[in-house]
Structure 1
Amino acid sequence: MAKQLLTLPAPAKLNLMLHILGRRADGYHELQTLFQFLDHGDELTFAPRADGQIHLHTDIPGVPHDSNLIVRAARQLQQQANCSRGADIWLNKRLPMGGGIGGGSSDAATTLLGLNHLWQLDWSEDRLAELGLSLGADVPVFVRGRAAFAEGIGEKLTPLELSEPWFLVAIPQVLVSTAEVFSDPELTRDTPPIKVRSLLEGGGHNDCQPVVQKRYPEVRNALILLNKFVQARLTGTGACVFGSFPNRDDADKVARQLPATLPSFVAQGRNISMLHRKLEILAKK
């Protein structure tokens, strides 16, 4: 009998704004940010194993097998669920590392939800999100799969219905260190908190953008270039920058004018992630 294969998307996200309200005693920062998903991302394929081994068959340059968030997510779920089953995992990597669009966090969330389904653990979304938070501050938003206003270190989520425009996402060829950005003395850390309502009326900016564009000329140049066509913004701590468009044609038109040295992709914003759409279809079968 052929092995049961499960293939699921791990979608990208954008931070449509990111305010830093202050630094906490534990060194983390109090944030307010707005997450929306894109219909573009990585893809993971899972196959169950009876021997309890977790094996990721895709090498990621510079990331040892056991340090990969996918492997760590799988092992933590396995241990906490006291599950004797294992998994073979394959990753089709489309999202850049260090891009600020959630590649590693999204892969971890897809692993948690995928193996919960494959191993028939029947864990709740709340329980999976709590486990996800131990892997990274952005993992819970991918576990929950709904566009959201996030507070705290990014774990307090208020789901929102946003418009779903098309985005052009440009990928400067540089790895941005999130730790360096958050430890930069010039980072603004005292932005006053705002209410969701004023945010939906068009408020909001990214407090990390001035620091990132100063430290990384590749990001600065991408913002200057994209700003010629549309209001360009940084997502998260970068390196990716984006602009929004009312339709795909307009976004494609600008994408064609970017130089080959600045790769990009066009995707639509989504309030419910592709992962959750796929899992809903599977649940109905």
Structure 2
Amino acid sequence: MRETAYAKINLALHVRRRRDDGYHELETVFAFVDAGDELAAAPASQDSLRVTGEFGGALIDPFGNIIAKALTGLPHGPGWAVTLEKNLPVAAGLGGGSADAGAVFRMVRDAYGLPADWQARAAKLGADVPACVESRACIGRGTGTELEPVDGDLAGCPVLLVNPRIPLATGPVFKGWDGIDRGPLEGTNVREIALNGRNDLEPAALQLVPQIADVLDTLRKTGAWLVRMSGSGATCFALFDTPDQLEEAKAAVPSAWWTLAGALR
């Protein structure tokens, strides 16, 4: 079995309030790129996980990896031998671990079917995991686990992801949020909501990793019609009208930065 763990981006991310339980009330538009980590699995006598790829070394505890945790809670026979090709940077605002877990859920769904409470099981692994199971554009509310369908009018849109190769943990970014509610998502389809939206975590992320500003400035000088930071950073994305614009923009990005070019699903 093989499955791609599609990179997640937040086309808009509105932080509405800090909740009594310490989490934040969010409104976000999830979107997914048609590329990411790659997983392969084969039946085995017990679960095992092998990690390869450019960013495989960043996963220092593969047995505590979210893939292993996902398998523990899902029917898959005696075990699976899983190989993860880690192509997405870690702590990058791309939901890489959540995307990996989402890919596991899809493989289990195809092989055994998912239990009726799979959404709750996914949410226990992480706020982004339920959205990553389907890996299609949707709106997330609450901590991001309360999903709503949305008109996915941006499917096929060329997208470029750029990261300055600086990991950025989510916790400190949320801690740096200024606490101001700037209002809800607005629009009837993905394009409208994205254009009307914002990322409320961007100022806090910039305080921690000023290089994010360099990425945003570089992308804004291209032919992109939308440039924004994803999630808690430090990855930024640019959306284009044509593949040619995307290729020109990619050529303008410094070679020292990580890039991923693709299309929205």
Q: TM-score w.r.t. structure 1 length?
A: 0.84
**Structure 1: segments with no counterpart, 5+ residues:** 1-5, 271-285
Where do residues 79-94 of structure 1 align in structure 2 (5 Å cutoff)? 81=75, 85-94=78-87
State the 1:211 CA deviation.
1.1
**Mapped contact 1:248–1:266 kept (Cα < 8 A):** no
Runs of 4+ in 1 over 4 A off after TM superposition: none
- Aligned counterpart for 2:207 among listed residues 200, 214, 220: 214
In structure 2, the partner of 1:255 is: 250
The reply to whether residue 102 of structure 1 matches residue 100 of structure 2 is: no
Using the alignment, how far apart are the partners of 1:72 and 1:100 within structure 2? 21
State the 1:193 CA deviation.
2.4
- Aligned counterpart for 2:198 among listed residues 205, 210, 217: 205
- Aligned counterpart for 1:20 among listed residues 15, 19, 27: 15
State the 1:228 CA deviation.
1.8
CA-to-partner distance for each residue in 1:188-225, whole Å, 9 max, x for gaps? 44222234438753311000111111210221221122
Where do residues 223-242 of structure 1 align in structure 2 (5 Å cutoff)? 223-229=216-222, 230=224, 231-242=226-237
- Aligned counterpart for 1:181 among listed residues 166, 173, 177: 173
**Mapped contact 1:22–1:30 kept (Cα < 8 A):** yes
State the 1:162 CA deviation.
2.4
**Percent of paired sites with the same residue:** 32
**Structure 2: segments with no counterpart, 5+ residues:** none
Q: 1:163 to 1:24 in 2, by over 3 A?
A: same
Using the alignment, how far apart are the partners of 1:269 and 1:200 within structure 2? 12
Using the alignment, how far apart are the partners of 2:127 and 2:14 within structure 1? 15
State the 1:255 CA deviation.
0.6
- Aligned counterpart for 2:68 among listed residues 63, 66, 71: 71
- Aligned counterpart for 1:130 among listed residues 120, 129, 137: 120
**Mapped contact 1:181–1:187 kept (Cα < 8 A):** no
Using the alignment, how far apart are the partners of 1:199 and 1:187 within structure 2? 26
**Mapped contact 1:128–1:143 kept (Cα < 8 A):** no
Q: How many residues align?
A: 255
In structure 2, the partner of 1:33 is: 28
RMSD: 1.9
In structure 1, the partner of 2:129 is: 139
Using the alignment, how far apart are the partners of 1:258 and 1:223 within structure 2? 11
Using the alignment, how far apart are the partners of 1:187 and 1:67 within structure 2? 33
Which has the higher Rg, Structure 1 or Structure 2? 1
